[in-house]
Amino acid sequence: MTEIHQELHERRILGTELLWAFGVGVLIAAILSMIVFTALSIGVNPPSNVERLDPKALHLSGEFAEDNLGTSVGSDGRVVVRVIATQFAFLPRCIPVPVGRPVTLRFVAPDVLHGLLISGTNVNTMVVPGYVAQVHTEFTRTGDLLMPCHEYCGLGHSEMWATVQVLPENQFQPDSNGRVSCAQR
Amino acid sequence: MSDSHETPSIDRRLLDQPWRFWSTVAVAGTLLGGIILGALIIPVVQGRSAGLDAYTAICRALGILPGSPAQPQPSDRVQRTPVSQVVWTSELLHILARADPARGRTKALESCAACHGETGIAVAPDVPHLAGQSGPAIYKQLSDYRTGSRAHDLMAGIARALDETALADIAAYYAGRPMRNPNPATLAPAPAEIITLVELGDPRRGIPPCASCHRAGSGGPIETPVLAEQRDEYFIQQINLYASGQRRNDLYARMRTIAAQLTPSEIAGLAAYYRAGFR
């Protein structure tokens, strides 16, 4: 091969490389701008709340003891939902929430990595043992929403799901302790 | 001739120089851009809608400041006793790992063998077999009897008379016994719907497969008992106690929720399946 041929060959390789680098760069830029756009405009973000809790003793902790799970309304009107994600179920299995009001969802896992999303909403988080996964959201439509586990957690993973019941204000009735239960249908 | 070899190598290094420079710039730029976006711009903008000032938002994004726990619940509810006092700490796992089956055998002959059998094969129908049962499962139940989390007139007294090491030793002794040889007469083919429930569960009702926890080595919770070759009378009795909520020492209501959804014929079918122990 002569010098000139070699030179042409090098240039052709360079051209191809630049083309691919440009294509990949455009893709990365597009995906990143999508993430930034959704983060800034509709509040999609990885849960930023860092809160540790001993996963081995959740049943002895005050907040996530069995009797304290589910939906409760504080004296200040704040709606807080506490849920345990365990192999292979959510406790409680039906979660009532009001429509059009801010809701704080708090999830913990005692055993392995779990995850969840509530279909049709921006709620989507991993539940890591040792941490509280906290999500603030507001449900905009009434109806039953599916909340499946979306992080493989073991052989029963595909049977792990719960229902989120978004209730109109007149059906969302806390009892004297501020607890709300799912409407029976 | 050596010149003609060296010249191109120098050329190549010179040729590479701008690439090395620009790739470094690209990597450093991406990193810097990521930090600015992820640790500054996004937290500040999102923090504003959550009512956080810029400094707090940035510190929380970096993990320096903890997040805001939800407000504590009004404490007008009477705190009931937890369903179990057992916590699988590393100290407890050490005690279980160091347990001595020989010591456990002596203790078991004194306290357990009259009902559960010397080798863990029980005689009475409502007494479970313990042979080959998982050690942590035996320990958990004994411990729950001791703390009153699981109620049984006889077992509570026996378990209270033993200390923690003795419980671990007994658990290790029975866990080390081999399972029985299954009686071929009980190996009747199980109905398809029972096999499905054991192997696949029922996604519609949210019932996970029994085998996802109750088969040895399945990767479920540590305290899960092995069900193979268990007595059917005892099995049915316990499922019904879970379903009615009379027995509630299962953490996070794992079994109460499942048992309450099983039909009587499913419970009978599962009991027969596990009595045989094999498909």
Provide the residue ranges of all domains of chain A, joining segments of one domain with +. Answer: 1-45, 55-180
Are A142 and A167 in contact by the 8 Å Cβ rule? The answer is: yes
pLDDT in tens, A5-35: 888 888 899 899 999 999 999 999 999 899 8
- A48 vs B67, B73, B87: nearest CB: B67
pLDDT value, residue A157: 94
Whether the CB of B91 is below 8 Å from some CB of chain A: the reply is no
Name the residue among B63, B74, B251 with its Cβ closest to that of A75: B74
Q: Are B257 and A65 a contacting pair at CB < 8 A?
A: no
Interface of B with A in 244-263 (CB under 8 A): 251-254, 257-258
Q: What does the pLDDT read at residue B278?
A: 43
- Interface check for A140 against chain B (CB to CB < 8 A): the answer is no
In 3D space, the residue among A46, A77, A51 whose CA is nearest the CA of residue A64 turns out to be A51
Cross-chain Cβ contact B208/A75 below 8 Å: no
Nearest CA in chain B to A53: B69
Of B70, B203, B212, nearest to A106 by CB-CB distance is: B70
CA B4 to chain centroid, in Å, comes to 70
- Minimal-distance CA residue of chain A relative to B71: A74
Residues 6+ apart with CB under 8 A from B157: none
Q: Which of A36, A59, A78 sits opposite B83 (nearest CB)?
A: A59
Q: Is B67 on the interface with A (CB under 8 A)?
A: yes
Which residues in chain A have their CB less than 8 angstroms from residue B70's CB? 78, 80, 104, 106, 134
pLDDT for A4: 82
The pLDDT-based confidence of A68 (bands split at 50, 70, 90) is confident
> Which of B12, B40, B73 should be substituted to probe chain A, the one whose Cβ sees the most A Cβ atoms within 10 Å?
B73
pLDDT, one tens digit for every residue, chain B (279 residues): 444 445 555 677 777 788 889 889 999 999 999 899 888 998 888 888 777 888 988 888 887 876 655 444 443 455 667 889 999 999 999 999 999 999 999 999 999 999 999 989 888 888 999 998 999 999 999 999 999 999 999 999 999 999 999 999 999 999 999 876 555 665 667 889 999 999 999 999 999 999 999 988 888 899 999 998 888 899 999 999 999 999 999 999 999 999 999 999 999 999 988 887 543
CA angle at A120 for the pair A118 and A125, rounded to the nearest 5°: 35
Burial label for A174, CB within 10 Å (0-12, 13-18, 19+), is middle
B14-32: burial string, b at 16+ Cβ within 10 Å, e else: eeeeeeeeeeeeeeeeeee
The CA-based angle A81-A82-A87, given to 5 degrees, is 135
B70 φ, ψ (degrees, to nearest 5): -60, 155
Q: B66–A84: do the CB atoms touch at under 8 Å? A: no
Is A98 in the B-facing interface, judged by CB distances under 8 Å? no
Take residue B140 and report the two structure tokens written for it. 């958990």
Does the distance separating the beta carbons of A63 and B202 come in below 8 Å? no
Of B76, B209, B252, the CB nearest to A155: B209
Angstrom distances, CA of residue A110 to CA of A104, A113, A132, B156, B229 = 20, 9, 11, 27, 29
Q: Chain A closest CA to B108's CA: distance in Å?
A: 29
Superfamily holding A55-180? Cupredoxins -  blue copper proteins (2.60.40.420)
d(CA B26, CA B125): 74
pLDDT computed for residue B9 by the predictor:
58
| Bridge partner list, B244 | none
The ipTM value here is 0.77
What's B207's DSSP letter?
Answer: B
pLDDT for res A46: 66
Could you give the percent of chain A with pLDDT greater than 90? Answer: 58
First-to-last CA distance in chain B? 80
CB within 8 Å: A66 and B253: yes
Test the B interface: residue of A11, A87, A160, A177 with most B CBs within 10 Å: A87
Which tens digit of pLDDT belongs to each residue from A105-149? 999 999 999 999 999 998 999 999 999 898 888 999 999 999 999
